């Protein structure tokens, strides 16, 4: 984590500044007004974003009505596509890892990894170990305990406890990281081995040829911008809800839209400032500090919590997850359950899709020189195991409290899903201290993640420039915060979830096409290499 990410060859993309390295605004951290052509992708993206914000402010009820109707239509008609595409990508990656193409390097054949494997793993975890771990680490398992997925168990029973973690693993495990991995692979291969610009449209050169530089390619880049924008605003909204709930419990701060807007405004100011000024030491501190705080909170809960129960629950839940893996991966809504899928699986899948471009750029940046096989294995396995363990320790502890110690965490979560994490901490020593740590953790994830996304949005709308202009960084920082605010005021968490699902669907098609394009290029390169060898 302490390695400088701002170094490397000229073709190396700068690191999203929230990811633990040199600020991307320039190679030295000075943040000069960089370049990048502000073409049609920039103006189209800004124009549509402005229209969306105006719509949310002036016609709030209409926005809610349209997004609700769109959500129901999209999920009822195309919800299955999230399941099929993500599973297909996962199968493709596993096949790729075991194929001869797995020996190819992300870069020149002579390139070797810039970072040691342990450091690389730490960086991968820093990319997405964010707000969701606090927002859903307890909330998802305890919600599934009270309302078991697809009616597979009786509520508040041992069987429901196993199902609760099983489905939490599904939502936060291999499928999510498969989306990130295929993006990271394609971007790294395109940038380092082929020398192309760091744009999503450039990944389609094997399929579309020079047409990627025309209207089709620009449409792909605009879709990438919007998927990333709404993924970021969802995280901002969740972070504001968590911070507001924690401050309300500890200091009596009102839990309402005014407080949440103020929190978003304050954090937006901080992450926009950090993206513009390029204060690399501050961002490194945030990334390292958040990882250390998360580890400390995890160890604390493992010590004070029911460790033996958690170990047994972990083993049983992983077994159930593995046994039902393909059934869960393809379980749709032919016989009902659409609302549950909208609230959980479809929303989670859409959220991962929306984060694909940002996390892909980051993974590509830190993985130059690794083999395709090593990249896939590391990105799929290690984060999944860490997330499984986190959900087991925090979610499993809450389950134990409710089942065996007369707790009411599920009841509190039903009333306010953002109270789950803090309600669990309240049952153990040093509750005030651990709650303060949890709030600080959310804020740190909040700032570093949004800062990184601001850079990626600016890069994608500056023709792939690795040094976007200050004015562009500021504009996207402000737009991200404003969009999060108007969605929060329009309908809170529901509006955030509805919007991310609806806006991510077109990008799901892009991801599927990206995988096909990547395989076509790999096959051609392997054939060329074989012909040369002969």
Q: Which tokens belong to 512? A: 């599927």
Is the four-CA dihedral 87, 15, 477, 416 of positive or negative sign? positive
CA–CA dist 529, 108 (Å, integer): 13
Say if residues 54 and 486 touch (Cβ distance below 8 Å): no
- What's the pLDDT at 129? 61
CA–CA dist 485, 479 (Å, integer): 10
**CB within 8 Å of 58: residues ≥ 6 apart:** none
The torsion angle over the Cα atoms of residues 187, 168, 453 and 298, rounded to 10 degrees, is: -110
**Do the domain assignments include residue 359?**
yes
| pLDDT tens digits along 168-209 | 999 999 999 999 999 999 999 999 989 998 899 999 999 999
User: Cβ of 87: how many Cβ atoms within 10 Å?
Assistant: 18
Q: Report the DSSP beta bridge partners of residue 371.
A: 105
* Helix 257-277 / helix 215-251 crossing angle, nearest 10 deg: 120
- pTM recorded for the entire structure: 0.88
Residue for token digits 């002579």? 110
Measured in degrees and rounded to the nearest 5, phi and psi for residue 105 equal -100, 150
**Do the domain assignments include residue 299?**
yes
**CB within 8 Å of 402: residues ≥ 6 apart:** 142, 145, 156, 408, 409, 410
Secondary structure class of 148 (helix, strand, coil): coil
**Do the domain assignments include residue 7?**
no
- What's the pLDDT at 235? 83
**Do the domain assignments include residue 417?**
no
| pLDDT tens digits along 344-387 | 999 999 989 988 888 888 888 889 999 999 999 999 999 999 99
End-to-end CA distance of the chain: 43
Measured in degrees and rounded to the nearest 5, phi and psi for residue 148 equal -60, 140
Secondary structure class of 127 (helix, strand, coil): helix
- Ranges of the chain whose pLDDT falls below 50: 1-34, 279-280
- What's the pLDDT at 479? 92
**Do the domain assignments include residue 407?**
no
**Do the domain assignments include residue 500?**
yes
- What's the pLDDT at 29? 33
- What's the pLDDT at 10? 34
Q: Which tokens belong to 98? A: 């075991």
Is the four-CA dihedral 125, 130, 132, 136 of positive or negative sign? positive
**Do the domain assignments include residue 411?**
no
Range of the domain at 302: 17-395+428-529
**Do the domain assignments include residue 418?**
no
User: Number of structural domains, the chain?
Assistant: 1
- What's the pLDDT at 282? 54
Q: Which tokens belong to 85? A: 């595409």
* Helix 307-323 / helix 280-304 crossing angle, nearest 10 deg: 100
Nearest alpha carbon to residue 316 among 381, 380, 399: 399
User: Cβ of 283: how many Cβ atoms within 10 Å?
Assistant: 29
Residue for token digits 């999230």? 82
Is the four-CA dihedral 94, 193, 37, 469 of positive or negative sign? positive
DSSP 8-state secondary structure symbol assigned to residue 204: G
User: H helices within 278-408, ranges in order?
Assistant: 280-304, 307-323, 325-329, 338-343, 345-366, 372-404
């Amino acid at each position: 984590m302490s390695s400088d990410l701002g170094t490397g060859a000229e073709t190396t993309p700068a690191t999203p500044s929230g990811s633990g390295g040199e600020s991307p605004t320039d190679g030295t951290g000075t943040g000069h007004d960089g370049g990048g052509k502000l073409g049609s992708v920039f103006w189209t993206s800004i124009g549509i974003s402005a229209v969306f914000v105006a719509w949310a402010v002036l016609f709030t009820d209409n926005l809610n009505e349209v997004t609700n109707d769109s959500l129901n239509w999209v999920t009822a008609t195309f919800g299955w596509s999230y399941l099929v595409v993500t599973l297909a990508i996962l199968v493709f990656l596993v096949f790729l890892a075991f194929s001869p193409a797995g020996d190819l390097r992300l870069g020149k054949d002579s390139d070797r990894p810039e970072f040691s494997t342990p450091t690389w793993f730490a960086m991968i975890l820093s990319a997405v170990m964010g707000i969701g771990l606090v927002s859903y680490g307890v909330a998802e398992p305890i919600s599934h305990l009270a309302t078991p997925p697809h009616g597979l168990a009786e509520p508040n029973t041992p069987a429901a406890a196993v199902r609760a973690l099983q489905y939490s693993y599904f939502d936060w495990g291999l499928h999510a990281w498969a989306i990130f991995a295929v993006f990271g692979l394609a971007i790294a291969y395109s940038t380092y081995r082929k020398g192309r610009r760091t744009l999503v449209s450039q990944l389609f050169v094997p399929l579309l040829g020079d047409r990627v530089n025309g209207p089709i390619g620009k449409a792909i880049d605009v879709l990438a911008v919007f998927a990333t924008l709404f993924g970021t605003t969802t995280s901002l909204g969740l972070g504001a809800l968590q911070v507001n709930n924690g401050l309300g419990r500890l200091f009596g701060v009102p839990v309402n839209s005014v407080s949440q807007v103020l929190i978003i405004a304050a954090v937006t100011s901080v992450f926009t400032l950090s993206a513009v000024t390029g204060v690399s030491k501050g961002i490194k501190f945030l990334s390292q500090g958040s990882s250390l705080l998360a580890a400390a909170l995890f160890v604390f809960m493992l010590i004070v919590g029911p460790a033996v129960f958690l170990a047994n629950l972990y083993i049983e839940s992983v077994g159930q997850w593995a046994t039902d893996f393909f059934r869960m991966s393809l379980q749709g809504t032919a016989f009902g359950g659409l609302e549950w899928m909208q609230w959980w699986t479809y929303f989670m899948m859409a959220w991962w899709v929306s984060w694909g471009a940002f996390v892909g750029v980051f993974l590509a940046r830190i993985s130059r020189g690794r083999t395709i096989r090593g990249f896939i294995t590391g990105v799929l396995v290690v984060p999944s195991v860490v997330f499984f363990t986190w959900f087991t320790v925090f979610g499993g502890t809450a389950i134990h409290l409710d089942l065996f110690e007369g707790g009411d965490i599920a009841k509190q979560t039903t009333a306010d899903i953002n109270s789950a994490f803090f309600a669990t901490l309240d049952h153990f020593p040093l509750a005030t201290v651990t709650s303060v740590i949890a709030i600080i953790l959310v804020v740190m994830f909040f700032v570093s993640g949004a800062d990184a996304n601001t850079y990626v949005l600016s890069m994608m709308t500056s023709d792939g420039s690795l040094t976007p202009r200050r004015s562009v960084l500021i504009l996207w920082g402000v737009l991200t915060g404003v969009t999060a605010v108007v969605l929060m005021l329009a309908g809170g968490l529901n509006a955030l979830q509805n919007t991310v699902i609806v806006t991510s669907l077109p990008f799901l098609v892009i991801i599927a096409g990206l995988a096909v394009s990547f395989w076509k290029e790999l096959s051609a390169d392997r054939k060329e290499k074989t012909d040369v060898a002969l």
